[in-house]
């Protein structure tokens, strides 16, 4: 066979505010791979089927000399994120051709994973495949965002039946799972989102006790309708974090998952009522789910429950699937504007 | 006997910024008590010897309709705070005349404590008196501020040998104890204070590894001289809290004891880098030592160690004693300006 196209989305320039398609993130087609001659050694080659879009990616779009919890993207190289791929060539008997793998991948059509990278990939088992989840879900509710919801809610939130929880970004990949876990545990669940459609879905499909559009509602007034907050699951920071501090009960737990409202702002919003952390004895704790990736017990607990609940319909999920890698730059930028409705994911190729 | 003077410091007006002596806090002399005829019932009367000045008192100078963790002061009534007094009249055999009590008291020369109030008072035992502490110390290092340091440092800070800790308000009632507990536990201790004299004392007398004057030093540059912070003991909030977030290591613990820099500001300082709580997985936790007041084990641990260490000199203390209740308004206001050097306390009367 001759070399075939291996299109990719490239990190072309470090953005200072919102990234722009074609400038900071570029779709490029003039790359090839020759599957016959590529030297796989003891690694594998995957045909990439789906790749995830997650807010934390904004933090990776930075200068190489700035440290953070995630590796920065390399300039002029493709973006990376969680993916599902099918093995098309293998030099490793643990990863046979034809099997599906998931883990950290690359925004391109085919990827050569050296042995060191395969150590961090997992095979989708026969049982997992038979469960019947869409492949996209293994990077969503049954993947990193689902793990983020599960870890943050249980381990940091310390939920108790009867508690009141407020979730921002509630229709997003993480928020939608947190809200449903909280309903399961008998909490009163309040969510905010950025459109009336999302709010309607939270109320009617996910049975949130209350939901509102933070762009048009008075956040403080909405929260004042309920008992003081015992838990706040923060995906956005900024004004809504301030409102949650005002509405918090004594000894509230603030699960600090992300502050997407701040990621693209050059001048971050100052939180002016942080003194309430003292007066109300609030625990405000940040976490990164990657810290749990070396904990087999955590994965066992997660994978024994979440995929099953999704299949049975106990856990409803909403995914916002964009087809085609060429649309990825716009789709990535869209999540910082709240354009996605549900878990954002790119379908790179059909599974055939 | 005829009625005698019972001067007091009155809460005369709710302040909006810094309180002023003679306006918001008034010393008044035209009050009397008749020790012969006062109806003590099953309570006691104390001659008040020392009364504490603590930053949290600013929070009690508020309108009665605002809720907080501490009871508000009552307009036109005397201020209240921790005190030591001598029992001069008693209707309760548990509290014999001539004994010393400590607990919550009143900014006046003599106080009638009804039975319900005596339930929250403690007698200074023979052993405690023999230990030889100054009476002022029972409202300082061996009282609420010492308990604040002890609880915050151990229970929220989770200190480990080799950790780096930064303490603001380091020469104050709480900070000076935290720093010395941290040295005992093998931590690297950095402190900031508001004058060169205080800085010198922290370095030379308390053996802090480093100390600096936050008014003249570049806080970020000072913190950058050491390993990233594992623990931040926050007494001040504001700019130094921002600098501590910048200087924090992953998984740092922020012990949020107070934010004195914000108490008298109408427009609180916005914390602009709170996103670092997520990126660095910081636990930022507020606490109020009053929550431990119903925990006998906590008091047992505290009183079995701290007074002994003070007597032996293992724990050095510095108190800023103002003599005379008439000087109390200025002295209270002074702690918000950082005028005190060490634990601020009023000596109301000599023990005779």
Task: Write out pLDDT tens, residues A122-163.
Answer: 999 888 888 889 999 999 999 999 999 999 999 999 999 999
**Cβ contact, residue pair B281, A280, below 8 Å:** no
Predicted pLDDT at A27: 98
**Cβ contact, residue pair A277, B256, below 8 Å:** yes
Tokens, residue A229 = 């907050």
**Cβ contact, residue pair A285, B283, below 8 Å:** yes
Q: Which residue of chain B has the CA closest to A242?
A: B270
A chain contacts of residue B283, beta-carbon cutoff 8 Å: 283-286
Distance from A34 to chain B by nearest Cα, in Å?
39
Distance from A101 to chain B by nearest Cα, in Å?
28
- Residues comprising chain B, all counted: 352
Are B164 and B227 in contact by the 8 Å Cβ rule? The answer is yes
Q: Which residue of chain A has the CA closest to B156?
A: A283
Tokens, residue B17 = 């910024």
CA distance B31 to A245: 43
CA distance B139 to B321: 12
Of B258, B267, B281, the CB nearest to A288: B281
B144-290, CATH topology level: Rossmann fold (3.40.50)
CA distance A159 to A153: 7
Q: How many CA atoms lie within 13 A of B64 on its CB side?
A: 7
- Residues comprising chain A, all counted: 352
Q: Which of B274, B199, B202, B268 is nearest to B244 (CA)?
A: B274
CA distance B101 to A54: 61
- Helix B144-151 × helix B296-312 angle, to 10°: 110
Task: Given CATH 3.90.180.10, say whether it is the number of domain B4-130+319-347.
Answer: yes
Predicted pLDDT at A266: 65
Distance from A49 to chain B by nearest Cα, in Å?
30
Ranges of residues in chain B with a pLDDT under 50 are none
Are B307 and B283 in contact by the 8 Å Cβ rule? The answer is no
A chain contacts of residue B237, beta-carbon cutoff 8 Å: 274-275
B168, B169, B275, B276: best to mutate for the A interface, most A CBs within 10 A: B275
Distance from B270 to chain A by nearest Cα, in Å?
4
Which CATH architecture is the domain A4-131+319-347 placed in? Alpha-Beta Complex (3.90)
Angle at the Cα of B201 (from B200 to B204), degrees rounded to 5? 80
**Cβ contact, residue pair A281, B285, below 8 Å:** yes
Q: How many CA atoms lie within 13 A of A21 on its CB side?
A: 14
For chain A, give the percent of residues with pLDDT over 70. Answer: 99
B chain contacts of residue A281, beta-carbon cutoff 8 Å: 69, 285-288, 291
Are B63 and B14 in contact by the 8 Å Cβ rule? The answer is yes
Are B249 and B227 in contact by the 8 Å Cβ rule? The answer is yes
A58, A235, A247, A274: best to mutate for the B interface, most B CBs within 10 A: A274
Predicted pLDDT at B267: 65
Predicted pLDDT at B322: 98
**Cβ contact, residue pair B275, A257, below 8 Å:** no
Residue A286 in this model has a pLDDT that exceeds 80: yes
B60, B285, B288: best to mutate for the A interface, most A CBs within 10 A: B285
Distance from B202 to chain A by nearest Cα, in Å?
26
Distance from A147 to chain B by nearest Cα, in Å?
16
Are A220 and A239 in contact by the 8 Å Cβ rule? The answer is no
Please give the biggest Cα pair distance in chain B.
69
Other CB atoms within a 10 A radius of the CB of residue B319 amount to: 20
B chain contacts of residue A277, beta-carbon cutoff 8 Å: 256, 284-286
Residues on B contacting A at a C-beta cutoff of 8 Å: 59, 68-69, 237, 241, 250, 256-259, 262-263, 267-288, 291
What confidence tier does A267 reach under pLDDT thresholds 50, 70, 90?
A: low
Residue A352 in this model has a pLDDT that exceeds 90: no
Are A111 and A85 in contact by the 8 Å Cβ rule? The answer is yes
How distant is the alpha carbon of residue A329 from its chain centre? 16
**Cβ contact, residue pair B279, A237, below 8 Å:** no
A with B: how many residue pairs have Cβ under 8 Å apart? Answer: 106
Of A237, A278, A283, the CB nearest to B275: A237
ipTM: 0.91
**Cβ contact, residue pair A275, B237, below 8 Å:** yes
Q: Which residue of chain B has the CA closest to A272?
A: B270
For chain A, give the percent of residues with pLDDT over 90. Answer: 89
Predicted pLDDT at A77: 96
Are A336 and A263 in contact by the 8 Å Cβ rule? The answer is yes
Provide the pairing of β-strand B229-234 with B248-256: parallel
Q: Domain map of chain A by residue range?
A: 4-131+319-347, 144-290
């Amino acid at each position: 066979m001759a070399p075939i196209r291996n299109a990719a989305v490239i990190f072309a320039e470090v953005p200072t505010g919102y990234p722009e398609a074609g400038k900071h993130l570029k779709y490029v087609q003039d790359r090839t791979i020759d599957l016959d001659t590529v030297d796989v050694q003891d690694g594998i080659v995957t045909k990439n089927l789906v790749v995830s879009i997650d807010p934390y990616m904004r933090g990776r779009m930075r200068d190489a000399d700035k440290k953070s919890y995630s590796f920065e993207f390399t300039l002029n190289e493709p973006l990376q994120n969680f993916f599902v791929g099918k093995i098309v060539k293998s030099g490793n008997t643990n990863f046979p051709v034809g099997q599906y793998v998931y883990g950290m991948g690359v925004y391109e059509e085919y990827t050569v994973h050296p042995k060191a990278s395969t150590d961090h990939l997992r095979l989708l088992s026969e049982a997992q495949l038979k469960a019947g989840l869409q492949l996209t879900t293994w990077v969503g509710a049954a993947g990193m965002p689902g793990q983020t919801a599960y870890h943050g809610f249980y381990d940091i939130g310390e939920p108790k039946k009867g508690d009141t929880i407020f979730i921002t970004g509630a229709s997003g990949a993480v928020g939608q799972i947190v809200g449903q876990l909280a309903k399961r545990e008998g909490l009163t669940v309040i969510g905010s989102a950025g459109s009336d459609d999302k709010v309607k879905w939270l109320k009617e499909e996910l049975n949130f006790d209350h939901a509102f559009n933070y762009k048009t509602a008075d956040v403080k007034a909405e929260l004042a309708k309920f008992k003081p907050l015992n838990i706040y699951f923060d995906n956005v920071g900024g004004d809504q974090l301030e409102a949650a501090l005002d509405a918090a009960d004594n000894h509230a737990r603030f699960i600090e998952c992300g502050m997407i409202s701040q990621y693209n702002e050059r001048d971050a919003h100052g939180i002016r009522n942080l003194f309430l952390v003292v007066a109300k004895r609030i625990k405000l704790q940040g976490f990164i789910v990657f810290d749990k990736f070396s904990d087999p017990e955590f994965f066992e607990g997660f994978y024994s429950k979440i995929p099953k609940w999704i299949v049975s319909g106990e856990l409803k999920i909403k995914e916002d699937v964009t087809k085609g890698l060429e649309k990825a730059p716009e789709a990535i930028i869209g999540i910082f504007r709240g354009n996605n409705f549900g878990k954002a994911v790119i379908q790179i190729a059909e599974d055939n």
